[in-house]
Structure 1
Amino acid sequence: MPITLDSHHDVAVLRIDHGKANTLDTDSCRELVLRLEEASQARAMVLTGTGRIFSAGVDLKRIHEGGAAYVSEFLPLLSDALLAVFGFPRPVVAALNGPAIAGGAVLAAACDHRVLGSGTIGVTELLVGVPFPLSALEILRCAYGTAPLPGLTYSGAVHRGEDALARGLVDELADEVLERALAVASRLGELPAEAFAHTKAQIRQPFHERIAEYRHTDDPVVERLWRSPAALAAVKSYVDKVLR
């Protein structure tokens, strides 16, 4: 099961448990949406990874193996999973137990609060040669603002510790990441549920509106670029050089 759901008192704990790097593929994206629905009655939620990695983002091996047809199936599911976290009405705290890279960094950005341990965080999609889906970019814009986006996305740099904190990529550092994330989630979960959900929806409304307005025209462009021979060749090169 690529996403597990446990509870700690009234706080749901969703744990990505998919392969060596807790990557996102069609199965884990579908499972994440289902587990979020199951956790809808929890006071708050913690999202974390298994082992020493939060999530390394998209499973590029599956992209390489499945080619263009798999890309067309996967990209809508990726956006659905990211938006399910982003739109969850109760508090969501990311316990970054290790690297949160590319799509993993976007998952972290979709949360309300991010606690980082010894790992790194960064969005590296352009280094692989593929653009961000609109949903991912708007989630990053909501979390970090428009001004930092070019530096964050164009460079593909990853940041750790005090550097990540100073840049606002995480909200705090902790040695015991899960323990601290549970404490924050428990505190946020004590806020009145309906008032919190409405306030969260107000804060995120402009981003949801932009996604709803432009996704139908932007998603086909992103899909075309991900399916292109150049992009698939770049993914193959990355898999061969880095993942093997």
Structure 2
Amino acid sequence: MLTTENRGDVAVLRIEHGRVGALDVELLDALTEAVTATDRAVVVTGSGSSFSAGVDLRRVLDGGRPYTEELLAALSRTFRAVFDHPRPTVAAVNGHAIAGGCVLALACDLRLMSGGRMGLTELAVGVPFPTSALEIVRHALGPRAGRVLLGAQAGDREQALALGMVDELTEPGGLLPRAVALATEQASRSPASYRLAKAQLHRPANAAIEATTGGDAAVLAGWTSDDTRSRIGAALAALARR
């Protein structure tokens, strides 16, 4: 599901969960635990042709409202654990980073990409954004956030670079070494100063997230509506025909 390899001052977390690294409650909990348990810099990467293709939509349909409520809470915990990890974080995007997988990458301080497609496609299946995801996207992409989020499309690595979703492109064989090297370089700086600067940079996003203390009730309603479930079903059927 998730493997951890320590390389000096860097913990490499590799998603190995099914064919496309789909995000479910179990994987999200494992990611949250791994990130919060380490005091090292973190590199997050995937396996095969995917970094993570996003939420496991079949589990959403099968589990109904109880599972969806649990999933949304797990997504927010994971995104915030990565976003607020006090040490450097680098996403080594080895392949497709779609929807929630894209948000996971955007939660990192730096993002490298070697192949695949990347984008925020949630609105294409009628799925609204949890506040934590939306504010992390806004922080990472700035004025481009609306274009990427509302466009609901995935582009290739050159498009991802042009839109600011990634900071650097690499060849597949050089992706992980480059990501570890960058994380090591960042980790060599004063941990206390890095932590403080990161907290200061993230303060507006975290304030907006914490302002929704009542929970994302409207988001949950959107995820569990008949219209959204119908759109998810149609999207899964279209994937099955490919």
Settle same-fold status: TM greater than 0.5. yes
- 1:172 maps to what in 2? 168
Query: Which residue is equivalent to 2:192?
Result: 194
Structure 2: 5+ residue stretches without partners: none
Give the corresponding residue for 2:10: 11
Q: Which residue of 2 aligns with 1:74?
A: 71
Under a length normalisation based on structure 1, what TM-score does the superposition of the two structures give? 0.94
Correspondence for 2:31: 32
1:194 Cα deviation from its structure 2 partner = 0.7
Between Structure 1 and Structure 2, how many residues are aligned? 239
Distance 1:71 1:243, change over 3 A: farther
Which amino acid in the other structure matches residue 149 of structure 2?
T
Moved over 6 A (4+): none
RMSD: 1.2
Closer/same/farther in 2, CA of residues 177 and 215 from structure 1, 3 Å limit: farther
Q: Secondary structure at the match of 2:165?
A: coil
User: In the alignment, which residue of structure 2 is the partner of 1:20?
Assistant: 19
Establish whether residue 96 from structure 1 lines up as the match of residue 90 from structure 2: no
Partner residue, 1:84:
81
Residues 1:70 and 1:211: Cα distance change in structure 2 (over 3 Å): same
1:240 maps to 2:227 = no
Scaled by the length of structure 2, the TM-score of the pair is: 0.95
- Mapped to 2, the partners of 1:216 and 1:21 lie a distance apart of 33
Using the TM superposition, give the Cα deviation of residue 23 of structure 1 relative to its aligned residue in structure 2, in angstroms: 1.0
On the 8 A contact 1:144/1:169 being kept in 2, the answer is yes
The CA deviation string for residues 54-89 of structure 1, in whole angstroms up to 9 with x for no partner, is 000101111121122211221111111111111101
Residues 4 and 35 of structure 1 are in contact (CA less than 8 Å); yes or no, is this contact kept in structure 2? no
**Equivalent residue for 2:45?**
48
The answer for unaligned runs of 5 or more in structure 1 is none
Q: Tell me how far 1:216 sits from its aligned partner.
A: 2.2
Structure 2 equivalent of residue 137 of structure 1: 134
